[in-house]
Chains A and B, each alone.
Chain A
Amino acid sequence: MNARILPYVLILPVTLFLCLFFIYPFVLVSQQAFQAADGGWSMENFQEVVEYWKFPISMKNTLLLAAIVVPVQLALALLMATMVSKMKKGRDMVLYIWTIPLGISDLAAGIIWLAIFEQSGFLNSMLHGIGVVDKPVNFLTYQNPWIVFLAIALAEIWRATAIMLVILVAGIGLIPKEYYEAADVFGASKWKQFTRITFPLLRPSLQTALVLRVILAFEIFAVVAALGGTLFPVLMGQTYSYQFDLLNSGAAAAMALIILGISIGFTLIILRILRVPKGASI
């Protein structure tokens, strides 16, 4: 076949598929969000969801979780990635263990941490074992909002650090060893090497890792459902309950667009902060 047409034939299936199941539904959801009950254009749906009493709290919860979880994950992933890059023996084994959570769903992660935090769970059993408590404490109730928050944050950190780790390890692998040898020759300390070589050269990977993680952080849903239930409303949970419990798909669409808007906004901010000067990549 003609080499000029062939590439287009090859990308046609993906393009069609994405048009049908990505761009078209995106247009639909936007339409639905801006549609009033009488069919005209309006902000009614947005007004409704924003004015609902749970909206500010779910917005606050979602942003707060992202603000706590993502930086911790970034720090942890960077630490793990540098540790692994120095490792000689057992590197494969350690990497395998550290990346296991990559394949675990948010729902399963929520259930795993439920096993620790529930009333008859392992945390209580441990506290009981060392004599801190006599009776099991019910941590996950509305009286302990900070423990609920902590449990959700820990589950998220536990589950989703792996994706950043993988991206960063791959990124570090692309940095030529000679740069570090040169830095050694010029007498740069390990810390200086990290801040002056690893960090700047890792910027493209950091970009990818952060964008991906931040977007997923705004989509947080099942972990919260498993651990907090309705105690800890988040944006995605609200969207779900508009669709199913309240059967108000217009409002659900408006929520979806709000989440989208926040995700895109943060993506742009991250890309801007971590932009790589042209020609300065490896």
Chain B
Amino acid sequence: MTDAAVNDVSVDTRKSGRFLYGASVVFLCAWVIVPIYFLLINTLSSPETVNSFPKPFIPEFDFGSLQFFAGFSGMLTALKNSVIVALLTMIMSIIIGAPAGYALSRFDFPGKGLFRMLILLTRAFPLPLLALPLAVMFIQTGLDDTAFGLALVHTTLAIPFAVLITFSLFSGIPIELEEAAWTLGCTRLTAFTKVVLPLILPGITASAIFAFVISWNEVFAAAVLTIENRTLTAFLLQNLDTSPLHLKFAGGFILVVPALIFIFAVRKYLFAMWGIANR
């Protein structure tokens, strides 16, 4: 065989390889997007269309389903509850988690390994199960069926992430910046507020949004711990058997929207967070 023939063959295989690669990327993108698109069609169709057959493959931009969703008794309250619980979770997990992340990144102290273990253990644990005993404890303390009570459980879910993410954020700020601030007349606190905080604020926001979504998406603990004040997930779960299709789909779509925004908002941090967090 001549050199030219060899080259031809390798060019051919390379071309088909590149085509296969491109096709796979497109296919995998479609695999993620198409199901969401189907949900979008259902959401933007009238209830009649949703229950009819065969389905159209383009949305008719009818807001009947969404109106039905908004008008369904208890749904808007559930939506409101979801937002309140998620906001509380977001605030608590950052306020409680960030100091620990700072301590892990800046200090070596006896017991650090043990503390890290505790955090990692929490992450590798089916936490929603712990909602069962907490249900009893909450009844005793009057926290049962409250947004705050549920937010406490969701904060437990979000805290290991908050600690590890803030740990990686703080580790990304050279300690010299803080030391420089100390020598320039700052206390530990003012050095933190004037130098560290402005630098990690975007990252803190990202991890706060992450906490929000963890709470927003949680189903089991929400279903166990709320009765009257259902969150959206708990409400949808409870009514899965009885509610009409168009209600499920509209509800599902409302659940998905924050996810789309969330992933877009934190996409810069997603990998940095995990790169260090899995050490």
Given contacts A105-B219, A129-B54, A240-B224, A170 and B278 within 8 Å (CB-CB):
yes
Query: In the complex, which residues 109-144 of chain A have their Cβ closer than 8 Å to any Cβ of chain B?
Result: 111-116, 118-122, 124-125, 128-129, 136
Chain A residues within 8 Å of B271, by CB: 166, 169-170, 173
Describe A's contact surface by its main secondary structure: helix
A122 to chain B, nearest CB (A): 5
Given contacts A25-B130, A97-B32, A211 and B263 within 8 Å (CB-CB):
no
B11 interface residue (CB < 8 Å to A): no
Given contacts A11-B103, A166-B271, A253-B132, A103 and B53 within 8 Å (CB-CB):
no
Q: Contacting A136 at CB < 8 Å: which of B53, B115, B217?
A: B53
Q: Are A104 and B255 in contact (CB under 8 A)?
A: yes
Chain A residues within 8 Å of B125, by CB: 22, 215, 260, 263
Q: Are B259 and A125 in contact (CB under 8 A)?
A: no
A207 to B123, CA, bound (A): 13
A58 interface residue (CB < 8 Å to B): no
Residue of B nearest to A96 (CB): B267
Per-position binary interface string of chain B over residues 130-142, scored 1 when its CB falls under 8 Å from any chain A CB and 0 otherwise: 1011111100000
Chain B residues within 8 Å of A256, by CB: 126, 129-130, 132
A106 interface residue (CB < 8 Å to B): yes
B216 to chain A, nearest CB (A): 7
Per-position binary interface string of chain A over residues 14-50, scored 1 when its CB falls under 8 Å from any chain B CB and 0 otherwise: 1101100110111011001000000000000000000
B contact set with A: CB distance below 8 Å:
21, 24-25, 28-29, 31-33, 35-36, 38-39, 42, 50-55, 57, 95-97, 99-100, 102-104, 106-107, 109, 111-112, 115, 118-119, 122-130, 132-137, 152-153, 155-156, 159, 163, 188, 213, 216-220, 223-224, 233, 236-237, 240-241, 245, 248-249, 251-252, 255-256, 258-260, 262-264, 267, 270-275, 278-279
Q: List 17 A-B contacts (CB under 8 A).
A: A6-B107, A11-B115, A79-B24, A100-B32, A100-B263, A101-B32, A103-B260, A107-B219, A108-B259, A114-B248, A115-B42, A119-B53, A120-B54, A170-B274, A219-B128, A256-B129, A263-B126
